Amino acid sequence: AQSVSQHNHHVILSEAASLELGCNYSYGGTVNLFWYVQYPGQHLQLLLKYFSGDPLVKGIKGFEAEFIKSKFSFNLRKPSVQWSDTAEYFCAVNAGTGGFKTIFGAGTRLFVKA
């Protein structure tokens, strides 16, 4: 069955620390990859997405993610986090083998200490 794994359920960082959130998926073949973010009290919104081309994808608010096909990974990174990055982050995969349904990981709660 299709699955998306996010390895860290909770992450606590101080401001200016670097961030890397792991995401692995279990499909072969063509995949489209997403990171969504849910700020406290707000709706889920798209942070960045990978469809094809350059495997290093830049998103909003200084986030980036790298697609490594050989590792089935799409890790999210930010060089220097801010207090306002406190949120829950969801990795998602949309794959042809899954009928192009979008499947989400369990999410990672990030808390940034001011």
Partner 1 sequence: ETGVTQTPRHLVMGMTNKKSLKCEQHLGHNAMYWYKQSAKKPLELMFVYNFKEQTENNSVPSRFSPECPNSSHLFLHLHTLQPEDSALYLCASSQYLGTSGNTIYFGEGSWLTVV
Residues near partner 1 (CB under 8 A) are 4, 9, 30, 32, 34, 36, 42-46, 49, 51, 90, 92, 94, 96, 99-107
Rounded to a whole number of angstroms, the minimum distance from the CB of residue 14 to partner 1 is: 25
Rounded to a whole number of angstroms, the minimum distance from the CB of residue 35 to partner 1 is: 12
Reduced to 3 states, what is the DSSP secondary structure of residue 69?
A: helix
Question: Residue 49's closest CA among 24, 74, 12?
Answer: 74
CA distance linking residue 38 with residue 42, whole number of Å = 6
Token representation of residue 104 = 């989400």
Nearer to partner 1, 35 or 81 (CB): 35
Nearer to partner 1, 19 or 31 (CB): 31
Nearer to partner 1, 3 or 14 (CB): 3
Rounded to a whole number of angstroms, the minimum distance from the CB of residue 104 to partner 1 is: 4
Nearer to partner 1, 19 or 95 (CB): 95
Contacts of 88 (CB under 8 A, 6+ apart): 37, 38, 107, 108, 109, 110
- Backbone phi and psi for residue 90, each to the nearest 5 degrees, phi listed first: -120, 130
